[in-house]
């Protein structure tokens, strides 16, 4: 979901951030991650999973995940002044629906949500890595 959000609701919608280095940062992290992920899935379906692909799937995220998150946050941050100035996707009162929405505040809340969510997801993945790779190493000892 964050990828759709970042690509459409931030990068596509705020033309001024499209050439930011932060966009390059998260796109590179996402690209490498997907190449590894789908290589892992493909060779798993073929019942021939080389250890290097399993290792890459459960190790390279250590660098790629923070790199992607950094790029995402920097891109949102770069978009904030343009969102505020243009009032992008914002709805102000009064209106016939008696509803308001401030996209600037929403983006700020999205950025703040990374504080509790990122460590939780990152350490869950570290735990998964430990579990999967230690199981592989134990099997190799007996083979």
- Find how far residue 9's CA is from the centre of its chain: 14
Q: Nearest 5°: phi and psi at 101?
A: -145, 130
Catalytic, out of 65, 77, 114, 122: 65
Ramachandran quadrant class, 47 (left: phi over 0; alpha: psi -120 to 50; beta: rest): left
Token match 């995402």: residue? Answer: 72
Catalytic, out of 20, 58, 72, 103: 72
Does residue 77 have an active-site annotation? no
Does residue 72 have an active-site annotation? yes
Decide if 82 contacts 88 (C-beta within 8 A): yes
Q: Coil, strand or helix: which one is 114?
A: helix
Q: Hey, which residues are catalytic here?
A: 65, 72
């Amino acid at each position: 979901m964050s990828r759709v959000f970042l690509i459409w609701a931030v990068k596509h919608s705020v033309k001024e951030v499209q050439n930011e280095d932060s966009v390059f940062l998260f796109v590179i992290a996402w690209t490498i991650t997907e190449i590894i992920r789908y290589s892992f899935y493909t060779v798993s379906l073929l019942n021939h999973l080389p250890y290097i692909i399993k290792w890459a799937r459960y190790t390279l995220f250590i660098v790629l995940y923070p790199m992607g998150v950094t790029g995402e946050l920097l891109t949102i941050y770069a978009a904030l002044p343009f969102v505020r100035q243009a009032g992008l996707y914002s709805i102000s009162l009064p209106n016939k629906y008696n509803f308001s929405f401030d996209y600037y505040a929403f983006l700020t809340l999205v950025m703040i949500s990374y504080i509790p969510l990122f460590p939780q997801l990152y350490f869950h993945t570290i735990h998964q890595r430990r579990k999967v790779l230690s199981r592989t190493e134990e099997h190799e000892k007996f083979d």
